[in-house]
Amino acid sequence: MVSKFCQLSVNDVDVVTKLYIKVFSQYPWHEDNKYDDISNYIIHLLQMNTNRCYLYKDDNELVGVALGFVKPWYKGVEYQLDNFFISSDHQRQGFGSDFLKKIKRAMHKIGVENIILETNKDTPAEHFYFKNGFTSVTDPHSLSLVCETKK
């Protein structure tokens, strides 16, 4: 196994989009994503000057993707891990944990002390993140809300 950790570039958008759609169409997500929607999402992330989007490859095969960005907050700077996914063929083999370790190191090198993310409760993803050092920051006084701007 020769793993490679590198930044995602615009040249990777097609292969990353296809992997995203494949992974998130399966259990437990069952999402019905459209190619153009996901491709545009990734391109917009890459256009942010604070993007930190990464690829994880094994013997030149794309295994995992991290889509995120660095942003300020009242305690300094944090990394918003917007999406993190591992190819279904490579899950439960240690690739995801190794990938996260590499991301943590990269963030530490640039002075980012925290990684934040959202995931669904009671899913394999939740258990994976807990296993890899994430803790829940549930606050009974706050909510996550979303509102469409077109209304």
**Structural domain containing residue 63:** 3-131
Q: State the pTM of this model.
A: 0.90
Diameter of the chain by CA atoms? 51
Is residue 72 one of the residues assigned to a domain?
yes
Is residue 68 one of the residues assigned to a domain?
yes
Say if residue 72 is preceded by a cis peptide, omega within 30 of 0. no
Is residue 41 one of the residues assigned to a domain?
yes
Please give the span between the terminal C-alpha atoms of the chain, in angstroms, as a whole number.
51
Is residue 110 one of the residues assigned to a domain?
yes
**How far from the centroid of its chain's Cα atoms is residue 98's Cα?**
14
Is residue 142 one of the residues assigned to a domain?
no
> What's the number of domains the chain is made of?
1
Is residue 69 one of the residues assigned to a domain?
yes
pLDDT tens for the chain, 151 residues long, are: 678 999 999 999 999 999 999 999 998 899 999 999 999 999 999 999 999 999 999 998 999 999 999 999 887 899 999 999 999 999 999 999 999 999 999 999 999 988 989 888 888 898 899 899 888 876 655 555 554 546 5
Q: What is the DSSP annotation of 76-95?
A: EEEEEEEEEEE-GGGTTTTH
